[in-house]
Amino acid sequence: MPGKLFKYKKHAYAMIKKIKGKYVVLSETTGRKFGAYKTKREAKRRLQQIEFFKHLKGRKGKRK
């Protein structure tokens, strides 16, 4: 069963798959698990957190 693929603007990919009755956030490139959640809403929220901090890390040192 293919997972739902999410794009954050034009950057990195991650996906949510339903495995054994839970929604699992996975890295598209490495397959690393970022957590399993009871609801799809919780999984989407976690995905947003991951994307936020990933982009924040890229801005390090550029803040005035």
35-57 pLDDT, tens digit per residue, is: 999 999 999 999 888 888 887 87
Which residue range(s) make up the domain with 36? 4-58
As a whole number of angstroms, the distance between CA 64 and CA 16 comes to 36
In a domain, 64, yes or no: no
| Counted domains in the chain | 1
- Residue 19 clears pLDDT 50, i.e. is over it: yes
Q: Of the given ranges (2-6, 31-35, 43-47), which has the lowest mean pLDDT?
A: 2-6
As a whole number of angstroms, the distance between CA 62 and CA 44 comes to 28
In a domain, 63, yes or no: no
What's the rounded mean pLDDT across residues 1-25? 71
Reported confidence tier of residue 9, pLDDT bands at 50, 70, 90? very low
In a domain, 41, yes or no: yes
In a domain, 14, yes or no: yes
In a domain, 17, yes or no: yes
Q: What are phi and psi of 51, to 5 degrees?
A: -65, -40
Is residue 15 within 8 A of residue 3, CB to CB? The reply is yes
